Structure 1
């Protein structure tokens, strides 16, 4: 069987630390080329992972390579152009989250995929977490009744990424909402089956990133310049959907909280649920019950 030929656009941390190592574990996949405007980064990536060809222009890579699929690992604002060109050249696309830095960019990518009959998927690996898979099935089967309220959050005690590709809108398109808040939004919509929204009340704030104290002490071993920090580090929103469903979204890079991470709760007319710890709350024959469940990662049919 001929191997699936993959090209990489963007040779930074996500490409070298996640995408390429994951592809190398698949016997039917071969990474045949990588591209980055930084020639040293492209060359080092090719050398490190034994990739046959590297380019400083992804346009040339698409012209010269016969690619079945492409991973987009560039900063957020640079997802659209290579994704669209890859699909026009016949490749399926896996792009890093968020899908794009703007709604219009995301729409262009979506309609290009439809026009050229290509698969376009965003790297929301959280959809395959065992608890999230279970919650989606539980909601779909109606075990919690009608879901009328949900809360989904991805919060950090202290986790501002110092790189310009995160903290400067020119490269990121946004701050914590686009970086990790997208997981909170995608996860709850995925579980609820993508209900139709009717209205949104939201607010974004910058409470830590432009504070000299926090910039000087840095985060994850690195500091940043406050004059370059022009995105939000906190974002909150309430979404009202059809059928009297309300969803609260919370996300930030820094806050004074006890625990950080992705989590969610569901409230239904026949039961409730929480992701971490994974618990189901129900009423059985007049008795209030709490069921705690644990699981392992399921095997995923990659054809789906």
Structure 2
């Protein structure tokens, strides 16, 4: 029986983590949520209703000492990830950390190093990895069934809506805006589906549009202090980047929290020598004898096919129980963080920046 503790009982901690764990336990997984922790008493009380058998703490240190969990899920703001992950690993726990892994690559490396030295499982909350469509595309593309993927297009975001917690708009707490909080999902998925190619350089731009609006976007338009929170935002809500890989292929990404209404607010398109593959929804088209032929598989569903966080939770629980690596490997976590760091560095400098290779782990 895996004894799991959750720190961070906000919206995602409750509706993402705790609901997924509840479904796993109902399905017979050897899991018990033994503790929940949040400095906000209202969040903690709400979480207690979802996990009535768990001990409630407002102190993370006291939770680790009082419960000694086998595993810890960290759903707090990124500014706390390094400290809490290192403490959990030092206490002997496996760790599941929300995205981004940390505020920067310098903060992320010690987490990975500590987990490897302690022989603890480490994973991240990247749910796109657990969809049938991304698994299918990874197999298709890495096998070069459509030939070389010479360019990938990625676009994502929200339709005129900012994230529902003020910490997402605070650089010191979140480490960034739409790239760190939202784009990270699709960026990780693309790198994974491409087979984790080595990144050479990044050229990027970023814009903070929300602070200059006459009226704050939802949900802050309904908050008493919403206008002030948005006006004081220190993160980007739009970003563009061109990523060059060491083999000469490229990736372009565009993300925004303030998209106007559109039929396709997010998607990924892989341009290949022998056709095109797409995600969101899944589509495959092959170039055959001068014609474009639809080769989309009929039996691969789009989406997660259930609760959005169930795949992440299941993989972490089973990996921690068996002592095997999770689907998100440590080197892949660091590679994604390195690209995020480079996007911000390039946008700040106004020029292309190199990305140092991540050593295999």
Settle same-fold status: TM greater than 0.5. yes
Alignment partner, residue 239 of structure 1: 243
Alignment partner, residue 218 of structure 2: 218
Aligned pair partner of 1:263 in 263, 267, 279:
267
Alignment partner, residue 54 of structure 1: 56
Contact residue 184 and residue 250 of structure 1 kept, 8 A: no
Task: Tell whether 2:276 aligns with 1:272.
Answer: yes
Unaligned 5+ runs, structure 2: 306-310, 320-325, 327-361
Rounded Cα–Cα distance in structure 2 between residues aligned with 1:261 and 1:33: 38
Aligned pair partner of 1:130 in 132, 144, 160:
132
Alignment partner, residue 191 of structure 2: 189
Rounded Cα–Cα distance in structure 1 between residues aligned with 2:13 and 2:158: 24
Contact residue 91 and residue 118 of structure 1 kept, 8 A: yes
CA deviation digits over 1:187-242, x for unaligned, max 9? 110111111111110011112x1124231x53376342243211100011001001
For the structure 1 residues 141 and 235, does the alpha-carbon distance in structure 2 shift closer, same or farther, using more than 3 Å as the test? same
What TM-score does the superposition give when structure 2 sets the normalisation length?
0.77
Deviation at 1:99, TM superposition (A): 1.2
Alignment partner, residue 153 of structure 2: 151
Deviation at 1:276, TM superposition (A): 2.4
Contact residue 179 and residue 255 of structure 2 kept, 8 A: yes
Contact residue 77 and residue 173 of structure 2 kept, 8 A: yes
RMSD: 2.1
Alignment partner, residue 293 of structure 2: 289
For the structure 1 residues 36 and 219, does the alpha-carbon distance in structure 2 shift closer, same or farther, using more than 3 Å as the test? closer
Alignment partner, residue 5 of structure 1: 3
Secondary structure of the structure 2 residue equivalent to 1:170: helix
Work out the number of aligned pairs and report it: 300
Aligned pair partner of 2:165 in 158, 163, 166:
163
Rounded Cα–Cα distance in structure 1 between residues aligned with 2:260 and 2:18: 36
Contact residue 240 and residue 252 of structure 2 kept, 8 A: yes
Alignment partner, residue 15 of structure 1: 13
* Greater relative contact order (Cα < 8 A, sep 6+): 2
Higher helix share: 2
